[in-house]
Amino acid sequence: MRVSIKAACAAMLLLPSAAPAQQAPAEDEPRFTVPDSVSPEARAILAPALAAQRQARPQRVNLGTDLLSIRAMAEQGAAERMAAVADRYRVVATPATLDGVPVLRVVPRDAARGKRLLIYVHGGGWATGSARSSFRTAAIFADATKLEVVSVDYGLAPEQDFRGVTGQVAAVYRALLAAGHDASRIGLFGDSAGGNIILGTTLRLRDEGQPLPAALVGLSPCTDLGAEGDTRRTLADADPVLDVPETLEAMRLAYAGEDAAAGMLHPWASPVRGDYRKPFPPTLIQGGTRELLLSDFVRQYQVMRGAGREAMLDLYEGMPHVFMSYLADTPEGRQAIATARDFLLARLAAD
């Protein structure tokens, strides 16, 4: 298994796609390049990571035989990274359980008083990752907003499909309501597959008659388990993260469940297929122009806006998948995080 830009940047997690197979470039031809239009700070991080990636060729990973090793690789060194990140962003992380679901409660040392909080759902292609390996993103948002972040350690595919995962996130949300947190003071955010899950969970909460959260932020969210988006083809050779189509397709099929064909069409699994004529929280969708999933962002924004819902599409020049975390200290990352912070804080009810 090759070392990808994810390993080089220590933050990128896989997400399913259905891009066509890429044609291997010549040995002396770079697979991916950094556009001249990005900031010098972003270039300084992306250029060496991409240079290392050019030396490898994508290999298909069999989820049936390699999944445990993929998960172990994602978790390797997580405890040490958590300690460094907690010190950097001045947060305290405490493991807890809410309605049977494990979570990390991430609290800034200078947290604002009150009952406003955020729920975070991590990425990882639905099949990898954890609240520990994704701790950096939770800490960044806790520090930026000065709010507690409840990071959900949901069950992974194929052991859990979209019904099980959205059920777990919904259970955490309901447990917080039962503990005295008002829905109007709760925001949800998620990256990559986690962006898909927060949208699907909110549709589920609405379908089940639950009060809806105040706002959502999707960071490079996959919104369609299918393959209909234009950029699944046009940017297949431009995305340095989602560049192993066979593996990514296997992940999305695993999340869709036993009846994958039907699962991929279900709004809880493919939120772009939801009915947004009914109430839905204000939603911010962020991403980069180098993303295979760019069409997912655009389609989700358009379906919500077309139904009269409040939605904001916030795109960043030349940025790859889920750049907000591993490029947090670049101009692009700082602007994205500030925009997400302001969006959430403006829509969560005051304490």
When pLDDT is cut at 50, 70 and 90, the band that residue 312 belongs to is: very high
Residue 26 falls inside a structural domain: no
pLDDT tens for residues 225-237? 987 899 988 998 8
- Whether residue 120 contacts residue 194, with contact meaning beta carbons closer than 8 Å, is answered with yes
Question: Is 266 considered catalytic here?
Answer: no
75 a catalytic residue: no
> Is the confidence at residue 37, as pLDDT, over 60?
yes
**Reduced to 3 states, what is the DSSP secondary structure of residue 267?**
coil
CATH code, domain with 131: 3.40.50.1820
Within-domain flag for 27:
no
CB of 332 within 8 A of CB of 39?
yes
Query: Is 25 inside a domain boundary?
Result: no
Spatial contact of 6 and 192, defined as CB atoms under 8 Å apart? no
Answer yes or no: is 127 within a domain: yes
Task: Give the number of other Cβ atoms within 10 Å of residue 30's Cβ.
Answer: 12
What pLDDT was estimated at residue 66?
A: 79
Pair 201, 170: CB distance under 8 Å: yes
Q: Whole-prediction pTM value?
A: 0.91
Residue 4, pLDDT > 50, answer no
Q: What's the domain range around 135?
A: 5-18+36-347
For residue 76, what is the DSSP state?
Answer: T
- Give yes or no for a cis peptide into 158 (omega within 30° of 0): yes
Could you tell me how many residues make up the chain? Answer: 351
Q: Is 181 a catalytic residue?
A: no
| Counted domains in the chain | 1
pLDDT, tens digit (0-9, with 9 covering 90-100), for 58-86: 556 667 777 888 888 889 899 999 999 99
C-alpha–C-alpha distance, residues 320 and 160, integer Å:
28
pLDDT, average across residues 122-129: 94
Instruction: Let me know if residue 326 belongs to a domain.
Output: yes
Set 133, 134, 151, 192: catalytic member: 192
Q: For residue range 87-117, what is the model confidence (pLDDT) as tens digits? A: 999 999 999 999 999 999 999 999 988 999 9
Q: Where are the alpha helices (DSSP H) in the chain?
A: 5-9, 40-54, 63-75, 78-89, 135-145, 162-178, 193-207, 231-234, 245-256, 260-263, 294-306, 323-326, 331-347
Q: How far apart are CA 231 and CA 223, in angstroms?
A: 13
pLDDT level of residue 320 (50, 70, 90 thresholds): very high
Flag whether 273 is in a domain. yes
Asked if residue 254 has pLDDT above 50, the reply is yes
Identified catalytic residue from 122, 181, 266, 321: 321
In a domain, 31, yes or no: no
Q: List the catalytic residue out of 291, 295, 325, 332.
A: 291
Cα–Cα dist 53/246, whole Å = 18
Mean pLDDT across the chain, nearest whole number?
89
